[in-house]
A and B are shown apart, each in its own frame.
Chain A
Amino acid sequence: EVQLVESGGGLVQPGGSLRLSCAASGFSFSTYWMNWVRQAPGEGLVWVSRISSDGTTTAYADSVKGRFTTSRDNAQNTLYLQMTSLRAEDTAVYYCARDDSLAYSGGYYTYFSYWGLGTLVTVSA
């Protein structure tokens, strides 16, 4: 059974840092791209970042570029999100999600078929 379990959330002051983890099990973690998605209280979903299966390629939302870094440890089956210079607007539940893809002649369709339960990050003084 595929499982994704986030941890590391909590209360942090503005300007502070936090590292989130996502422990993966039930699938071959090292062969899948992974993502972070967040949701502020009462708000919609926002894609945050994506990382390739080997960790060499990353992409970020404009709102977190330069402040957040996503990485992974394939030996430990764990995805990370290092968050720095945190702002009140970063307050959200952070989900990790597994990339699945379907090849077609023009490229790949990508979708998130597995999600973790999320971890809450609160940025407040």
Chain B
Amino acid sequence: AIQMTQFPSHLSASVGDRVTITCRASQDIRNDLGWYQQKPGKAPNLLIYATSRLQSGVSSRFSGSGSGTDFTLTISSLQPDDFATYYCLQDYNYPWTFGQGTRVEVQ
């Protein structure tokens, strides 16, 4: 199975900060990667798919980049609603695998 290593596991940031989260795949997954945001007690919410395509209705302060094995999610200016946990997911081949998650907390 493809291992998705996500880091950092948690980070503390302030409103207005630029935040970057990284996922590294154990093998080439081309651009078959998405990013999800999850708040406590809620279902995940799709932010980015196909590495860099912004889901409809998601703020443009979220962006994704990368290819092959290294991928990043960037929040250009952190807003109060963005404090949450973020996961990457590879859909290159089965079994699909999520990263371990990054919890973004208030500094």
Q: How far is it, in angstroms, between the C-alpha of A112 and the C-alpha of B96 when the chains are bound?
A: 12
Q: How far is it, in angstroms, between the C-alpha of A111 and the C-alpha of B38 when the chains are bound?
A: 15
**Given A45-B98, A111-B46, A117-B43, do A62 and B31 touch, yes or no (CB 8 Å)?**
no
Q: How far is it, in angstroms, between the C-alpha of A112 and the C-alpha of B88 when the chains are bound?
A: 12
Report, as a range, how many residues of chain B touch the other chain. 20 to 34
Residue A32 interfacial (CB < 8 Å): no
Q: How far is it, in angstroms, between the C-alpha of A9 and the C-alpha of B55 when the chains are bound?
A: 30
Residue B50 interfacial (CB < 8 Å): yes
Query: Contact between A47 and B87 (Cβ–Cβ < 8 Å)?
Result: no
What number of A-B contacts does a CB cutoff of 8 Å give? 63
In chain A, residues 27-55, which have Cβ atoms closer than 8 Å to a Cβ of chain B?
A: 37, 44-47, 50
Q: What 0/1 pattern do residues 60 to 71 of A give for CB contact below 8 A with B? A: 111000000000
Q: How far is it, in angstroms, between the C-alpha of A102 and the C-alpha of B51 when the chains are bound?
A: 12
Residue A82 interfacial (CB < 8 Å): no
Report, as a range, how many residues of chain A touch the other chain. 20 to 34
| Cβ–Cβ < 8 Å partners of A62 in chain B | 1, 95
- What is the minimal beta-carbon distance from A74 to any residue of chain B, in angstroms? 23
In chain A, residues 104-125, which have Cβ atoms closer than 8 Å to a Cβ of chain B?
A: 104, 106, 109-113, 115-118
- What is the minimal beta-carbon distance from A47 to any residue of chain B, in angstroms? 4
Q: What 0/1 pattern do residues 24 to 44 of B give for CB contact below 8 A with A? A: 000000111010101000011
**Given A45-B38, A47-B89, do A109 and B49 touch, yes or no (CB 8 Å)?**
yes
List residues of B whose CB falls within 8 A of some A CB.
1, 30-32, 34, 36, 38, 43-46, 49-50, 53, 55, 87, 89, 91, 94-101
What are 13 A-B interface contacts by the 8 Å CB criterion? Answer: A44-B101, A45-B36, A45-B38, A45-B87, A47-B89, A100-B49, A102-B50, A102-B53, A104-B50, A111-B46, A112-B34, A115-B43, A118-B43
List residues of A whose CB falls within 8 A of some B CB.
37, 44-47, 50, 59-62, 95, 100, 102, 104, 106, 109-113, 115-118
